[in-house]
Structure 1
Amino acid sequence: MTDRTLDLDDFSDLIERPHGGLRRDAEERRARTGLPPEALGRLDALGEWLTAAQGRLPVEPIRQPRLVVFAGDHGVASLEVSSRPAGSAHTLVRETLEGTTPAAILARRLQVPVRVVDMALDCDPSELPDEVTRHRVRRSSGRLDIEDTLTAQEAETAFRAGMAVADEEADSGTDLVVLGDLSTGGTTAAGTLIAALCGTDASVVTGRGGGEIDDLAWMRKCAAIRDGLRRARPVLGDQLELLAAVGGADLTAATGFLLQSAVRRTPVVLDGVVSAACALVSQRVAFRAPDWWVAGHACSEPAQAKALDRMALDPLLEQRVEVGGGTGALLALPLVQAAAELAAELPVREDTAEGTDGEAGTDGDDDATNSPALDAT
């Protein structure tokens, strides 16, 4: 990739780990509540993670979560690798905007605003609201088995769009993001990325989407991932080239979003295999980035398990939800919110040493408002 102005190596310097000292203080504070160790299970670890991410002790409850969904069609869907027709993701987007998809219904129940970002839907942009289509890079990504899904310029534009969305969310006060996706062919792109980065064969990462595709469709999907791997492996050393080769606009944007969210110290709940693939690419860019994410749930796609294992992320739920759009991650959101409430409000039994139990425990360098940011423009 030539004439590129975006240097992904900068993320390694910009992304810091969550505040480790406060995490230890949160552990000590929890020990003084009088509850037996491990009585709250994983909620303790979640509360400590949020304390470190916020840089505050006690942690503050989650007040402004947001569901952010990156949407796009993939040319590989024309090979009938999906249970949905190629180019039909725009119908899922419309249903989400109308509030009739599982994710939209859950978001409404949980009072979580929904933001859909069209990166490469195969429809006329006039069919959707301007705020949905304003970041669109192209109409459908290319067929990953025979061609690059994006040009070099399109890949950079999509990546920067994801960064811009992360900045907009951080600037608006979003304190936790639930990351979702809506696509046709997106799990094929995700499987290709994960197989390439984990060094596995196509058959190891090819799933059925919860049993929705038959044996012939599974074989077509496996063949597409195999052919995509031949194109992905030569560019493994450059993650933006990798995304351009096989990722498509929506996955490229989601990767930029995850990395810039980590820069801005915004915690993220990952959804299914697509967000796991983007997270794995992000880890390759900046090894500290996964410290800012939790895996919301486990789906049946074997590629997701591969990616999460590589990042040492243990899913909060195992409901085998397959519908996408952030549905599984939204189911996990109440657990994260509960962990924050408990960590914030459980009283301690005795006085603490100065600074251990008190006010916002944020150093100037750890303040999200002062965090350095890579320019998305």
Structure 2
Amino acid sequence: MPSPQTALSEIARERQSQLTKPAGSLGFLEDLAIWFAARLPAPTPTRLKPMLAIFAADHGVAAEGVSAFPAEVTAQMVINFMNGGAAINVLARQHQISLSVIDVGVATDYPVPAQNSARLYRTPIAKGTANLRRQAAMSEAECSKAWQVGHATAFEAAKAGKTLLIGGEMGIANTTAAAALICALTGYQPADIVGHGTGIDTQAKELKIQVVQDALQRAQAAGAHSAQDWLREVGGLEIAALAGFYAGAAEAGVPALLDGFITTAAALVAVKDNPAVAEWLLASHVSQEQGHRLALSALGLTPMLDLGLRLGEASGAALCVPLLQSALALHGEMATFAEAGVAAAKMV
């Protein structure tokens, strides 16, 4: 796995100190430009070429009543993505992000629209996962196949010249799986992590906490120990694909931008499996989902935005793309004090 080129980040840091502005006055935007310089790699990185992949799959745990929406909504939203009617379609068009939808386990059959606003890849591994409260969500073979789909997606994007990879997800009840994974990999209790997901009420949230607790106890009794064990026991097909996607991005040497709660759970799996993956991850935002901030903290990541989002689909990540483009444009296109003939600040 490649490592960021720290020498380039130092060159970028020196350039920031010479730009026509007070030192540090662009705050986190300066840090972002320096971070990308080490990874793209170039002392003045050019405009990003983003690619967004939404991985879709269903979850057997939906049968426990942990979601405000029925399971068939997963397939219906895939159709919506293809028709261009979802929030992420709007943002992808607005910010010139190429969009793909990868079906790794949607349980309900659906027609493919004649006119597509995104590329659809149908690679279903199973018709959703098993009910993680009662049994392992996936077999070892299913989990591995999903991981490989995500890994291959990242490599194909890198080969196509994409310089920023964004993972999104769609799967009714996947906040339950994500919460279970975050608890398993961080040591937090379900009550610390489980949130309201798609908008469940307080009573349903209490049920969801119990479902996660039961799943963790069952998986631990089954011998879950490694990140891959926990992914198989309490994860999801789209979460496994996302974990593979982040691992693939790191192996290909391409920065990856996290979205919300579910993608952060997948990133935790990838990082626990291989800590070097963390060097290639950025956090876009912190969502309204209760445990997201704790999960980001476990990864050592600082989110760029806090807008109270809880939509998923990589919508929060897409909103950050113009912010990242601006950070790189400022870094590369501003004049230095010498170029502009402006007197630099006198150090006291």
Name the TM-score, length of structure 1 as normaliser.
0.85
Q: What is the distance in 1 between the residues matched to 2:24 and 2:197? A: 35
Deviation at 1:105, TM superposition (A): 0.8
Question: What's the counterpart of residue 78 of structure 1?
Answer: 63
Question: What's the counterpart of residue 344 of structure 2?
Answer: none
Question: What's the counterpart of residue 292 of structure 1?
Answer: 280
Q: What is the distance in 2 between the residues matched to 1:19 and 1:125? A: 46
Q: What is the distance in 1 between the residues matched to 2:229 and 2:110? A: 27
Deviation at 1:337, TM superposition (A): 0.9
**SS of residue matched to 2:12:** helix
1:240 aligns with 2:245: no
Q: What is the distance in 2 between the residues matched to 1:316 and 1:245? A: 32
**SS of residue matched to 1:68:** strand
Question: What's the counterpart of residue 306 of structure 1?
Answer: 294
- What residue ranges of structure 2 are gaps of 5+ in the alignment? 340-348
Question: What's the counterpart of residue 209 of structure 2?
Answer: 222
Letter in 1 for 2:13: E
Question: What's the counterpart of residue 346 of structure 2?
Answer: none
Q: What is the distance in 1 between the residues matched to 2:167 and 2:174? A: 14
Deviation at 1:341, TM superposition (A): 1.1
Q: What is the distance in 1 between the residues matched to 2:55 and 2:226? A: 22
Q: In structure 1, which of residues 93, 110, 118 is the aligned counterpart of residue 103 of structure 2?
A: 118
Letter in 2 for 1:249: L
**SS of residue matched to 2:75:** helix
Change (3 A) 1:126 1:153: farther
Q: Percent identity?
A: 30
**SS of residue matched to 1:159:** helix
1:56 aligns with 2:42: yes
Q: In structure 2, which of residues 327, 331, 339 is the aligned counterpart of residue 343 of structure 1?
A: 331
Deviation at 1:126, TM superposition (A): 5.6
Assess if the C-alpha contact under 8 Å between 1:72 and 1:118 holds in 2: yes
Question: What's the counterpart of residue 368 of structure 1?
Answer: none
Q: What is the distance in 2 between the residues matched to 1:324 and 1:18? A: 29
Question: What's the counterpart of residue 21 of structure 1?
Answer: 7
1:259 aligns with 2:247: yes
Question: What's the counterpart of residue 363 of structure 1?
Answer: none
Assess if the C-alpha contact under 8 Å between 2:58 and 2:107 holds in 1: yes
Q: What is the distance in 2 between the residues matched to 1:70 and 1:208? A: 22
Q: What is the distance in 2 between the residues matched to 1:131 and 1:280? A: 27
Change (3 A) 1:71 1:244: same
Q: What is the distance in 2 between the residues matched to 1:142 and 1:342? A: 49
Question: What's the counterpart of residue 199 of structure 1?
Answer: 187
Deviation at 1:66, TM superposition (A): 1.4
Question: What's the counterpart of residue 178 of structure 1?
Answer: 166
**SS of residue matched to 2:69:** coil
Assess if the C-alpha contact under 8 Å between 1:196 and 1:232 holds in 2: no
Root-mean-square deviation over aligned CA pairs: 1.8
Q: What is the distance in 2 between the residues matched to 1:310 and 1:283? A: 10
Question: What's the counterpart of residue 23 of structure 2?
Answer: 37
Assess if the C-alpha contact under 8 Å between 1:51 and 1:59 holds in 2: yes
**SS of residue matched to 1:340:** helix
Deviation at 1:303, TM superposition (A): 2.0
Question: What's the counterpart of residue 76 of structure 2?
Answer: 91
**SS of residue matched to 1:105:** helix
Deviation at 1:302, TM superposition (A): 2.1
1:168 aligns with 2:156: yes
Q: What is the distance in 2 between the residues matched to 1:311 and 1:76? A: 26
Superposed CA deviations along residues 182-222 of structure 1, whole A, max 9, x for unmatched, are: 11011110000000111121111110137x11122111211
Q: In structure 1, which of residues 325, 330, 342 is the aligned counterpart of residue 318 of structure 2?
A: 330
**SS of residue matched to 2:236:** helix
Q: What is the distance in 2 between the residues matched to 1:43 and 1:117? A: 32
Deviation at 1:237, TM superposition (A): 3.2
Letter in 2 for 1:21: A
Q: What is the distance in 2 between the residues matched to 1:346 and 1:34? A: 7
Deviation at 1:114, TM superposition (A): 0.9
Total equivalences in the alignment? 335
Deviation at 1:232, TM superposition (A): 3.6
**SS of residue matched to 1:132:** strand
Assess if the C-alpha contact under 8 Å between 1:196 and 1:236 holds in 2: no
Assess if the C-alpha contact under 8 Å between 2:304 and 2:320 holds in 1: yes
Letter in 2 for 1:74: H
Q: What is the distance in 2 between the residues matched to 1:197 and 1:288? A: 17
Name the TM-score, length of structure 2 as normaliser.
0.92
Assess if the C-alpha contact under 8 Å between 1:193 and 1:232 holds in 2: no
Moved more, 257-266 or 287-296: 287-296
Deviation at 1:349, TM superposition (A): 3.1
Superposed CA deviations along residues 228-253 of structure 1, whole A, max 9, x for unmatched, are: 11134465532222211111211011
**SS of residue matched to 1:54:** coil
Q: What is the distance in 2 between the residues matched to 1:301 and 1:195? A: 14
Q: What is the distance in 2 between the residues matched to 1:43 and 1:69? A: 27
- What residue ranges of structure 1 are gaps of 5+ in the alignment? 1-13, 352-377
